[in-house]
């Protein structure tokens, strides 16, 4: 009889543990396919040019030209474009050997054969099937490849040799909030001093923009931000609480949120998806 009680208690414990595990996984994990690391060779900074991406642009153009000339039944031009389509399609596997099995070489041969035979309708059918092989690889890898190899990386950016990017961000938000707190509590001097610090911090941040924005000069702070800084300073001195709040809000949108909309979201997604997970971390999940 006792053994049955042990057995039932054991069953209940097991059931609870399973329920606990299932409950903990309420926030579902997503499985994504990460692109092969060999791709890095075909992107900056390992390469001088975005070779992979440019091969893709060529393929799209060649697919369009082949379709167009097959419809026109213009054999001379069709030959020319089909030739380079074949070349650049096969280049995919030359660049990333592990993707050789993603290529539909049978369809490519069919396309080449029908072009040689001047069988235009067969050529059009083959182009359509080839497009399926483009789509299937894109479904799995396109978005994550762009995110991995084309999202600017801020993790290595330094404001000065002993001030990393993230610490500077934390300083900036502390200053923004200190202005808000001091304004609300009527401590004008403190608010103005923090505004001075924030301005200085923004100037320092602005120096790193040109690391990457060389041609399209992105002055930071720009004219609009400077005007808002001036307006905020005068409302902190003589304005109402409402005016102070409005100016500070405008400043935060212009000077922080705009850039976050591009850089922080992309960089956060990249860091999350491309970080190497240790086995211990995976087991913990």
Contact residues for ligand HEC (CB under 6 A)?
Answer: 35, 53, 56-57, 59-60, 63, 89, 92, 99, 102, 130, 133-134, 137-138, 141-142, 145-146, 149-150, 152-155, 157, 166, 169-170, 172-173, 176, 202, 205-206, 208-209, 211-213, 216, 218, 220, 255-256, 258-260, 262-264, 267-268, 271
Closer CB to ligand HEC, 25 or 37, in the complex: 37
Smaller CB distance to ligand HEC: residue 120 or 248?
248
Exposure on the CB side of residue 241, measured as CA atoms within 13 A: 8
* Closer to ligand HEC by Cβ: residue 43 or 243: 43
CB of 241 to ligand HEC, least distance (A): 21
User: How far lies 51's CA from each of 36, 47, 95, 133, 148, in Å?
Assistant: 15, 8, 10, 20, 15
Q: Which is nearer to ligand HEC, 155 or 160 (CB)?
A: 155
With beta carbons less than 8 A apart as the criterion, state whether 31 and 88 touch: no
In the chain, what is the straight-line distance between the N-terminal and C-terminal CA atoms, in Å?
A: 39
CB of 144 to ligand HEC, least distance (A): 8
Nearest to 196 by CA among 236, 162, 148, 253: 236
Of 124 and 208, nearer to ligand HEC (C-beta) is: 208
User: Which tokens go with 110?
Assistant: 């069919």
Query: How far is residue 135's CA from residue 211's CA, in Å, rounded to a whole number?
Result: 36
Nearer residue to ligand HEC within complex by CB, 41 or 138: 138
Please report how close the Cβ of residue 176 comes to ligand HEC at its closest, in angstroms. 5
Shortest CB 180 distance to ligand HEC, Å: 11
Shortest CB 46 distance to ligand HEC, Å = 14
How many angstroms separate the Cα of 55 from the Cα of each of 85, 91, 134, 198? 10, 8, 13, 45
| Min CB(4)–ligand HEC separation in Å | 55
Question: What sign does the CA torsion over 193, 196, 201, 202 have?
Answer: positive
């Amino acid at each position: 009889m006792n053994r049955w009680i042990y057995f039932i208690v054991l069953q209940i414990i097991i059931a609870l543990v399973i329920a606990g595990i299932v409950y903990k996984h309420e926030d579902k994990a997503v499985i994504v396919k990460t692109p092969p690391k060999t791709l890095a060779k075909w992107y900056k900074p390992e390469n001088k040019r975005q070779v992979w991406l440019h091969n893709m642009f060529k393929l799209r153009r060649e697919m369009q030209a082949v379709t167009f000339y097959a419809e026109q039944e213009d054999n001379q031009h069709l030959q020319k474009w089909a030739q380079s389509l074949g070349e650049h399609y096969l280049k995919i596997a030359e660049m990333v050997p592990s993707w050789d099995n993603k290529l539909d070489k049978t369809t490519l041969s069919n396309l080449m054969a029908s072009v040689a035979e001047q069988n235009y309708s067969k050529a059009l059918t083959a182009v359509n099937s080839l497009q399926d092989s483009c789509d299937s690889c894109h479904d799995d890898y396109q978005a994550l490849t762009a995110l991995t190899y084309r999202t600017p990386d801020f993790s290595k950016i330094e404001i000065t040799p002993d001030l990393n990017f993230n610490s500077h961000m934390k300083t900036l938000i502390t200053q923004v909030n200190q202005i808000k707190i001091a304004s609300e509590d009527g401590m004008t001097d403190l608010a103005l001093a923090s505004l001075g610090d924030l301005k200085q911090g923004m100037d320092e941040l602005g120096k790193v923009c040109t690391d990457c924005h060389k041609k399209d000069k992105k002055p930071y702070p720009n004219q609009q931000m400077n005007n808002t800084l001036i307006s905020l300073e005068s409302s902190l001195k003589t304005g109402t609480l409402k005016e102070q709040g409005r100016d500070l809000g405008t400043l935060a949108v212009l000077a922080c949120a705009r850039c976050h909309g591009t850089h922080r979201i992309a960089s956060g997604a990249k860091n999350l998806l491309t970080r190497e997970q240790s086995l211990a971390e995976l087991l913990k999940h």
